[in-house]
Chain A
């Protein structure tokens, strides 16, 4: 393996952290969805790393599953964003706070 496994995992963790910060901080729903994609990618990286480290193709199979799920999720999520925009004419996530106390 080209680089020590720890480095791959470290990179994965950093990207995941960036994704979390993006999801929690940004107000634009589309950016939030993109951050979620980033998080999923980070996880994929970790899978691939482990798969390579232990020569087990299972990790890569799982990555395929994750990508599939991510695609489906983006499709539906953006559909929701469209509905939201049609109802409120805005994609600000703070507009959907009906569950407020």
Chain B
């Protein structure tokens, strides 16, 4: 097994543990957010291993650097220290859910096995910002511009929703 593969499984494990940490952490919302950061970063590492360099960079910058920070801002703004409420009223739905997901996953993988087409080799420069930039500004320029509208709308919406009432 190559070093890259080993790294992949390591980071994969880290991602899973971090996600579990985020979901299962009942005490502290900030701790959950921290776990989320770890998950994001490990995913970024996995992206690198999968030759998606620009995506990895953006993942770290936007997700770990902006989105989770935003989460933390809000947590601190609301001064939420501890989760005083329990997860659910009863354990049963939780266990059921986990069991169902496990089964679903197993079924899904079984389904996939052998149906995927063969892997093709990656060309030179694949995943780099040049290649991606080319694709983004030629074939996909319309979605690109559309997202700017989306962001504009989101900004306006967020401002209105979060604004302190002045009156």
Contacts and interface: CB of A to CB of B under 8 A. Distances in A.
Given a CB threshold of 8 Å, the question of whether A touches B is answered with: yes
Contacts of A41: 39-40, 43, 63
Contact of B43 (A1, A45, A73, A78): A45
Interface residues of B, number: 85
Interface string B122-140: 1100110001100110011
Given A31-B83, A64-B58, A78-B158, 11 more contacts: A17-B101, A25-B97, A45-B43, A55-B120, A61-B136, A67-B63, A69-B150, A74-B70, A75-B154, A76-B157, A82-B78
Given A11-B15, A38-B39, A51-B52, A22 B23 contact: yes
B19 A18 contact: yes
A2 B5 contact: yes
Nearest to B102: A17
A37 to B, nearest CB: 7
Interface of B: 2, 4-5, 8-9, 12, 15-16, 19-20, 22-23, 29, 32-33, 36, 39-40, 43, 46-47, 49-52, 54-55, 58-59, 62-63, 66-67, 70-71, 74-75, 77-78, 80, 83, 85-88, 93-94, 97-98, 101-102, 104-105, 108-109, 112-113, 116-117, 119-123, 126-127, 131-132, 135-136, 139-140, 143, 147, 150-151, 153-155, 157-162
Given A21-B97, A73-B154, A34 B121 contact: no
A21 B97 CA distance: 7
A73 B39 CA distance: 19
B26 to A, nearest CB: 8
29 contacts: A2-B8, A8-B50, A9-B116, A11-B16, A11-B46, A17-B104, A18-B19, A21-B97, A22-B22, A27-B85, A27-B87, A28-B29, A30-B80, A34-B36, A37-B36, A37-B67, A41-B39, A41-B43, A48-B50, A52-B52, A58-B135, A60-B55, A60-B127, A64-B58, A64-B136, A73-B154, A76-B161, A79-B158, A92-B85
Contacts of A82: 74, 77-78, 161-162
Contacts of A34: 22, 32-33, 36, 71
Nearest to A74: B67
